[in-house]
Amino acid sequence: MSSRSRIVIASPHAAEREALATWLSSEGFDPVRAATAPAAIEALQARPFDAFVSDYGFAFMNEVHAAARGKARNPQTPLVVIGDADRAAQTRAESRGASYLTRPLDRAALVCILSMALADDRPVRRSLRRSVRFEAAADGTPCHLLDVSNEGLRLELPRTRRSLLPYFNVKVPIIGTTMIVQRVWIAATRAAGTASDVICCGAALVNNNPRIERAWRQFVDAVPTRPTDSLRVQS
């Protein structure tokens, strides 16, 4: 990152605070710790921030949620709430615009949620994203391409691959090409009230040679457009 994004972390659990701060710092973020709800409000109001990661109880008590929305850099600033496996709590958090992560925490899920949300606010390359359904393989694991663009792709993967490395190979048999991609985000896909054995992963092409990039662009150009295809940041 050219500039470190300021992330306020609010949790009454010391070990959790330190783990979150260590994870985010190692990913290039600037974490700010808060052990109490008043301390969280003070940190949020002190100066603009880019994201807020909070214990569920803190998020919705003592106006902490309102403070997070009030001093954010923009209306879409991500709020990530951490709680137990509680469907009612998750529904409440999501209804108020927050992402909900259950304990024990998944580092990759947290980093991907923040990276995806923060990337949406930056001026990055844009191109038409086309819907597809082709077989592929991510580091040898069978999966499906869900959509493609000149810059990246979206995959449907088994839930067991949630811990994909930041960089991995994607093989696309239909064009006989294997590419290097960088994971941008990972999210579960499920219907309300049901579990799911699959996840979605957004990835961007990186460090591929010109021959592979040319083959990929030719493939993307050959995919028929649909009414639901759109011009947006690849995610």
Last residue of a domain, one of 86, 119, 152: 119
The pLDDT of residue 116: 63
- Flag whether 48 is in a domain: yes
The pLDDT of residue 112: 67
Supply the pTM of this predicted model. 0.54
- Indicate if 52 and 152 belong to the same structural domain: no
Last residue of a domain, one of 119, 143, 174: 119
- Flag whether 104 is in a domain: yes
Helix or strand (DSSP H, E) at 56? helix 56-59
d(CA 82, CA 102): 6
The pLDDT of residue 49: 87
- Flag whether 233 is in a domain: no
The pLDDT of residue 190: 45
Residue ranges in the chain modelled with pLDDT below 70: 1-3, 62-63, 65-77, 112, 116-117, 119-126, 162-164, 188-196, 226-235
Strands 51-55 and 6-10: parallel
d(CA 31, CA 49): 10
Which CATH number belongs to the domain containing residue 72 in this structure?
3.40.50.2300
Contacts of 83 (CB under 8 A, 6+ apart): 55, 56, 89, 90, 93, 100, 101, 102, 103
The pLDDT of residue 123: 41
- Indicate if 132 and 187 belong to the same structural domain: yes
* Integer Rg of the chain from CA: 19
- Flag whether 234 is in a domain: no
The pLDDT of residue 110: 83
The pLDDT of residue 117: 66
d(CA 120, CA 74): 11
Report the candidate in 102, 55, 104, 99 with the shortest Cα–Cα distance to residue 78.
99
Provide the domain count of the chain: 2
The pLDDT of residue 167: 86
Sign of the four-CA dihedral 5, 10, 11, 15: positive
Domain coverage including residue 51: 6-119
- Indicate if 161 and 71 belong to the same structural domain: no
Extract the tokens encoding 90: 């998750």
Last residue of a domain, one of 119, 139, 167: 119
d(CA 118, CA 115): 5
The pLDDT of residue 72: 59
The pLDDT of residue 71: 56
